[in-house]
Amino acid sequence: MKPIEIKKNIYWVGALDWKLRDFHGYALNKGTTYNAFLVMDEKIALFDTVKVGFKGDLLHNLHQIVDPTKIDYLIVNHVEMDHSGSLPAMVELIKPEKIFCSAMGKKAIIEHFHCEDWPLVVVNSGDSISLGAKTVHFLETRMLHWPDSMFSYIAEDKLLISSDAFGQHWCTSERFDDEVNEAELMAHAEKYYANILLPFSPLVQKLLAKVAEMGIEIDTIAPDHGLIWRKNVAGILASYDRWSRQETKDKAVIVYDTMWESTEKMAKAICRTLMQEGISVKMMNMHVDHRSDVATEILDAKAILLGSPTLNNGILPRMADIISYLKGLKPRGRVGAAFGSYGWSGEAVGILTKALEEMKVELVGEGVKIKNVPTHESLKACVELGELIAKAIKSQE
Ligand code: FEO
């Protein structure tokens, strides 16, 4: 297969990773891609590389277009190893005239590869370089999602090479958004945002405002993972705006684990009540659901409920896992509560409540504890909690 020409004289030369299933805690059910782009001009430029084990794929693609030793410039939009892992080998082979990166990128490259002798050239937001017929403009996007991250914009082609932003972890033989099922594509983009970019939402808002202020025309967005946007550029930009505003709907996610099904009975009672109140509900049992799917469901949910029985004066370990993960992702503007059964000491609800407070979730009610196995009578406390949560969700419309 020849490398795909995404714009005249600009080629996708990346690699397909059909097998990857775990991206530091984020479950990928359909692999991912490491996108790299080659611009053929008076100066030949390679934008990003690929994960270290995929260097052969990158070289195979490059060789079909040009002898890689003819490449003049490397442009490092992002230093994370899935894009820079092959950088040392490529520098060794190509011996580039210049390697362009942000100031933070230079620091990160040196700290990763201990390469003070590489021809690193720092570019800042607003800087541009001419490749001949094409001009590359740089825009630093610090903390989206690493300090070094930046975008490259090729004005003549209205092409934004966007590093991790707007990506999806989805490996396909297709390269463009209009070649795949739109609903599946958006689901992958949403999961990617929820699990990678959510903590940086205020910066995404600033970036979108900055891009609008710059008035640049974008008809194609080429991220470093997944499909290239050329049909639905407006759609993905609007989705990023909505997700980064943390816009939610009348929806609750009940995240729980259970030992002998008593906490599950409580979760079901809360779920039934919310449904009766017209609230959309997702029950996520941490024994079967993955933390990254929980994060995705929480992206548009107004309420988060956490449930666990007490085990050894604490909570069940899978609940500790999801709490740690969600704290890092920083969902904001949610309401919530904790619940759980217990045998004698009953610390779990207090621990879950504290976790919600640390996540800046607005607490609703007191949290519900039930000793040992719930009865129809004792479950009324869960019904009341469900009603309170429904009221809190509706009051924030
Ligand atoms: Fe795809 Fe932040 O690396």
What are the chain's domains? 4-244 (3.60.15.10), 249-389 (3.40.50.360)
Closest residue (by CA) to atom 3 of ligand 1? 80
Strand ranges in 141-274 using DSSP code E only, listed in sequence order? 150-154, 159-161, 220-222, 249-256
- Torsion angle defined by CA atoms of residues 272, 277, 281 and 286, in that order, rounded to the nearest 10 degrees: -40
Q: What is residue 1's predicted lDDT score, i.e. its pLDDT?
A: 61
Told to judge if 225 belongs to the known catalytic residues of this protein, a careful annotator would answer: yes
**Ligand 1 atom closest to Cα of residue 163:** 1
What is the spatial distance between Cα 395 and Cα 316, in angstroms, rounded to a whole number?
32
* 140 in Cβ contact with 125 (< 8 Å): yes
For residue 82, the CA-to-ligand 1 centroid distance in Å is 6
Q: What is residue 360's predicted lDDT score, i.e. its pLDDT?
A: 98
Q: What is residue 206's predicted lDDT score, i.e. its pLDDT?
A: 96
The H or E element that residue 240 is part of is helix 233-244
Told to judge if 78 belongs to the known catalytic residues of this protein, a careful annotator would answer: yes
DSSP string computed for 32-46: EEE--EEE-SSS-EE
Q: Give the active site residue among 17, 82, 157, 177.
A: 82
Tokens of 331: 């969902």
Q: What is residue 76's predicted lDDT score, i.e. its pLDDT?
A: 98
Pick from 350, 330, 354: nearest CA to 340: 350
For residue 93, the CA-to-ligand 1 centroid distance in Å is 24
Tokens of 342: 């217990």
For residue 80, the CA-to-ligand 1 centroid distance in Å is 5
pTM over 0.75: yes
Q: What is residue 396's predicted lDDT score, i.e. its pLDDT?
A: 75
What is the spatial distance between Cα 119 and Cα 214, in angstroms, rounded to a whole number?
30
Q: What is residue 397's predicted lDDT score, i.e. its pLDDT?
A: 67
Cα radius of gyration rounded to whole Å, the chain: 24
Q: Give the active site residue among 60, 72, 80, 179.
A: 80
Q: Give the active site residue among 11, 48, 73, 78.
A: 78
Q: Is 78 in the pocket of ligand 1 (CB under 6 A)?
A: yes
Phi then psi for residue 284, to 5 deg, are -120, 105
For residue 115, the CA-to-ligand 1 centroid distance in Å is 21
Identify the segments of the chain with pLDDT beneath 70: 1, 397
Tokens of 382: 């869960």
